[in-house]
């Protein structure tokens, strides 16, 4: 036994050295700079910040580099770091209505105050591999810049609500639960599931959101509005008693407009599904909004029978750090359990044979 343990230590040491070498790749090539990751793989950094639930572009870029581009591993690294940080307090709620818009689109109105702003999007690009990007390039010409529309950008959902066509959300100033401090206690309020979805796995939520579009939990969604840009983060230190600006973060917000058949006590109207994520994460914000609306089925008196409508199913399985840990734990030794299964199976087969 003693020898086996020492062998394990050496094996781990060697494996980690190999990992380091593999991460570095061909030493004849320049090493990737964390700043390059942060600048040129910005959407990977955004995804890691969202799923790592820690807004720090530099740390997220470092995590991407360290994880060799494995984004779930990177989110895991970032979360493990985040948990070591002392918490000074919570920011004031951010106001996405006052967002400095980089992108804002509505699929429900052709034109609306503030207009449609496409921003830096893959939409409407033809997905043809651009071999020019494989070669060294001259400096990229700056994109033409329009004059920003100074008009405020009202939310589509608010315009509908004023007409009575959109169900109002109940307002609450109560302190929301914090799922990084308190375990989910089912059934959970919407504030708790929105937190879980905001840091949930993009792929999982994408698949669930997609399933609601294909009949597994009908939600009849329209993308009422998607907006992405900077919002100001404010904090009120107890010793000052008033809010001070800490800085700006980029957020993506999606408000889905969904049909609602009405109930005995309410007329038919639209309802909303809400998505909000760190960084530029449009696919995630949209998927989150679809799943949020799915999870509201019970509140709205709709049948609850699809996976995306089940709180426990969605929330217990959307966290990729938890999920990857448990799936991958199957790699750990299970010699003892397996041995007992072996013995049991042999004895059962022997009985059956008699």
Partner 1 sequence: MTEASIEAGYNFGYLDENTKRMIRRALLKAVAVPGYQVPFGSREMPLPYGWGTGGIQVTASIIGADDTLKVIDQGADDTTNAVSIRRFFNRVTGVATTEHTAAATIIQTRHRVPEAKLREGQVLVYQVPMPEPLFRLEPRVAETKRMHALADYGLMHVKLYEDIARHGAATTSYNYPVLVNQRYLMSPSPIPAFDNPKLDRMPALQLFGAGREKRIYAVPPWTEVKSLDFEDHPFQPARADAACVICGARDSYLDELIVDDSGKRHFVCSDTDYCASRPPVQDAAA
- The residues binding partner 1 (CB under 8 A) are 109-113, 118, 123-124, 126-128, 151-152, 154, 159, 162-163, 213-216, 218, 261-262, 268
User: Least distance (Å) from partner 1 to the CB of residue 128?
Assistant: 5
d(CA 250, CA 81): 21
Distance in Å, CB of 123 to partner 1, minimum: 7
In which order are the strands placed within the sheet that holds 269-278?
A: 100-105, 221-235, 244-260, 269-278
Q: Smaller CB distance to partner 1: residue 3 or 151? A: 151
Smallest gap from residue 272 Cβ to partner 1 (A)? 17
Minimum distance from residue 133 beta carbon to partner 1 (Å):
15
Q: How many other C-beta atoms lie within 10 A of the C-beta of residue 25?
A: 11
Label the pairing between strands 100-105 and 221-235.
antiparallel
42 or 115: whose CB is closer to partner 1? 115
Q: Least CB distance from residue 268 to partner 1, whole Å?
A: 7
Nearer to partner 1, 120 or 262 (CB): 262
d(CA 33, CA 336): 45
Closest to partner 1 by CB, 217 or 279: 217
Least separation in angstroms between residue 25's CB and partner 1 is 29
Q: Which is nearer to partner 1, 98 or 261 (CB)?
A: 261
We find the least distance from the C-beta atom of residue 156 to partner 1, in angstroms, to be: 8
Return the number of the residue (65 or 296) whose C-beta is nearest partner 1: 296
Shortest separation between residue 303's beta carbon and partner 1, angstroms: 12
Residue nearer to partner 1 on the CB measure, 65 or 283: 283
Identify which of residues 6 and 214 has a Cβ nearer to partner 1 in the complex: 214
**Residue 145: phi, psi to the nearest 5?**
-115, 125
Q: Is 61 exposed, middle or buried (0-12, 13-18, 19+ CB in 10 A)?
A: buried
Contacts of 117 (CB under 8 A, 6+ apart): 101, 102, 103, 104, 105
Task: Specify the residue, 255 or 320, whose C-beta has the smaller distance to partner 1.
Answer: 255
Minimal distance, residue 119 CB to partner 1, in Å = 12
């Amino acid at each position: 036994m003693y020898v086996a343990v020492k062998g394990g230590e050496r094996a781990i040491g060697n494996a980690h050295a190999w990992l380091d070498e593999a991460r570095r790749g061909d030493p004849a090539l320049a090493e990737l700079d964390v700043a390059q990751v942060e600048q040129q793989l910005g959407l990977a950094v955004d995804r890691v910040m969202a799923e790592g639930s820690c807004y720090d572009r530099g740390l997220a870029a470092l995590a991407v580099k360290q994880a060799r581009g494995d984004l779930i591993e990177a989110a895991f690294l970032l979360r493990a770091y985040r948990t070591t940080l002392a918490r000074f307090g919570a920011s004031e709620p951010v106001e996405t209505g006052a967002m400095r818009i980089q992108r804002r689109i509505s699929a429900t109105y052709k034109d609306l105050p503030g207009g449609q702003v496409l921003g830096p999007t893959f939409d409407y690009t033809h997905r043809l591999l651009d071999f020019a990007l494989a070669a060294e390039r001259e400096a990229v010409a700056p994109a033409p810049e329009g004059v920003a529309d100074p008009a405020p950008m009202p939310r589509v959902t608010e315009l509908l609500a004023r007409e009575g066509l959109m169900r109002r959300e109940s307002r609450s100033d109560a302190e929301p639960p914090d799922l990084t401090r308190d375990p989910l206690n089912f059934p959970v309020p919407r504030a708790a599931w929105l937190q879980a979805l905001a840091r949930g796995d993009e792929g999982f939520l994408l698949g669930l959101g997609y399933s609601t579009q294909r009949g597994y939990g009908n939600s009849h969604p329209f993308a009422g509005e998607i907006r992405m840009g900077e919002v100001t983060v404010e904090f009120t230190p107890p010793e000052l008693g008033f809010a001070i600006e800490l800085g700006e973060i980029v957020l993506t917000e999606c408000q889905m407009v969904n049909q609602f058949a009405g109930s005995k006590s309410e007329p038919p109207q639209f309802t909303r599904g809400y998505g909000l994520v760190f960084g530029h994460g449009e696919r995630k914000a949209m998927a989150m909004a679809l799943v949020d609306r799915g999870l509201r089925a019970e509140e709205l008196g709709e049948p609850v029978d699809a996976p995306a409508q089940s709180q426990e199913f969605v929330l217990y399985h959307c966290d990729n750090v938890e999920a990857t840990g448990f799936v991958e734990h199957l790699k750990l030794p299970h010699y003892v359990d397996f041995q007992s299964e072996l013995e049991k199976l042999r004895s059962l087969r022997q009985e059956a044979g008699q």
